[in-house]
Amino acid sequence: MSSNDTLETAAPEHHWSRRLILWAAVLILANVLADVVIGSPMMVLPQLMEHFDTDQAAWLNASAMLAGAIWSPLLAKSSDIFGKRRILIGTLLLACTGALVCLVAPSIWIFLVGRFLQGAAFAAVFLTVALVRQICAPRVSMAVVGLVTSGSSVVGIIEPFLMKPIIDVFGYRSVFVAAALLAAAAALCVRSFIPESPIRSAGRVDVGGALLLGGGLGAVLAYISLGRDFGWLSGGMVALLAVGAAAVAGWAFLALRVDEPIIDIRALSRPILLTLLALVLAAGAFRSMLQLTSVIAQVPPDQGLGYGLGNGEAIALLLAAPNLGIVIGGVCAGWIAGRIGPGFPLLGGILIGTVATFAMLAGVSMFPMAIACGAMLGMAAGAIGASGYNLAISIEAPERQGTIAGLVSVVLALGSVVFNFAGGEVLKATQVPGTFADGAPVSSATGVHLYVAMAGVLFVLAAVPAAMLLRNR
């Protein structure tokens, strides 16, 4: 029997072992790629704009994430039919190809094609989750899910320090060399060490439905992400929104009429819908708060604005605390879920986020409080992400777990984009003349406090469906 055959027929893991630790490490490596693809190019954004002679920073910033929304429905459904491991390897190779295209792109349009291919890495997270749930026994798998969904945040803490000297020496291309090497290494490790999921569903992939849903979601998210830069009512943005809405409506119409839709709307049970509602609200809350932290981290406290935490090296600590919290929250939530179910850590994460958010009303001007709140918000984010995947997959039938994991991933992204936009609009609407040397406008303390209150209300609202799930479990 070949090594590949051994992998294909490997028995599910029922307890922690060296083999399971190796699996977890390999899948964390695959998930690190998603963070690198989305985040690392932002470290070289000025160089990219200069190289391609463009001022369209918004497209360079958002292109991979929007591509991820387009890829997700197709890859999620394909994983249920063809196998999670096989599709994960294909996803990593697509991301590797995209990085190489970006590396040699002679124009911005070729570069955006590369970013579209790289965006497939967005699917790595939900593919690793669905794979873990099928190659491990349920009790162990929930703990591993917490580890693989949050472990990549450790890299988020050290990545800027590792990449900056490399970028200084080799320029912006080093980001894409690193991404290509990481994707290739992850694909090889998954191919060599991870067994295939034992459960497949029959049928076919509704490619037309996948393109309608993915393209529609991508267009709507593009409007939300880029409208502020290009004008909400500009002709191009309005057309983009209209096309996106029409595509999503067309997908919904077809999904109710075809035998095997990319997502079966008719099969979405009440517990699944409650889970998705809790996740979209909670993701919007914690992502918007993490965005606010990055904003106030740049504002010196001596500017007299009523808020501000920027103080040299303190900024790095403010941005590192949530990443550390994500690891703690995700790992603990997975461990708890394996013993009492994922509903309790989901509600617990939402409650921790609620407390941390309202405490930030004071933390926006108190550095120690901001560090503590940032760590707690990270714990909430880690617990909500891990528990959301675990809960949704536990509810769904095994042959549809890849599809539902993909839907959870899209919902988390949707909540993040929509409420990040809403928070940004609150700050923009409450701007006052700047007190910095360049006179740039900044938000008032009232705007910052309104922003925090909005996120707190979102957490409170998210607790309602999470509590309903526990009551009816």
What are 80-89's pLDDT values in tens digits? 999 999 999 9
Q: How far apart are CA 244 and CA 249, in angstroms?
A: 9
Kindly report whether the global pTM for this prediction surpasses the value 0.75.
Answer: yes
CA–CA dist 300, 309 (Å, integer) = 6
CA distance 405 to 73: 10
Q: What is the pLDDT of residue 101?
A: 96
Work out the percent of the chain whose per-residue pLDDT is above 70.
95
If DSSP states are collapsed to H, E and C, what string results for 234-272? CHHHHHHHHHHHHHHHHHHHHHCCCCCCCCCHHHCCHHH
Burial environment of residue 43 by CB neighbours within 10 A (0 to 12, 13 to 18, 19 or more): middle
Pairing verdict, β 431-432 and 442-443? antiparallel
Q: What is the pLDDT at residue 7?
A: 53
Handedness of CA 294, 300, 305, 307 (dihedral sign): positive
Measured distance CA(192)–CA(121) in Å, rounded? 19
**Any alpha helices (H) in 364-400, and if so which ranges?**
367-395
Closest among 78, 74, 167, 84 to 116, alpha carbons compared: 74
Q: What is the pLDDT of residue 15?
A: 84
Contact 444, 432 (CB under 8 A): yes
Q: Which of 31, 119, 122 is nearest to 412 (CA)?
A: 122
Q: Which residues of the chain have pLDDT under 50?
A: 1-6, 9, 437
| Terminal-residue alpha carbon distance, the chain | 44
CA distance linking residue 17 with residue 203, whole number of Å = 36
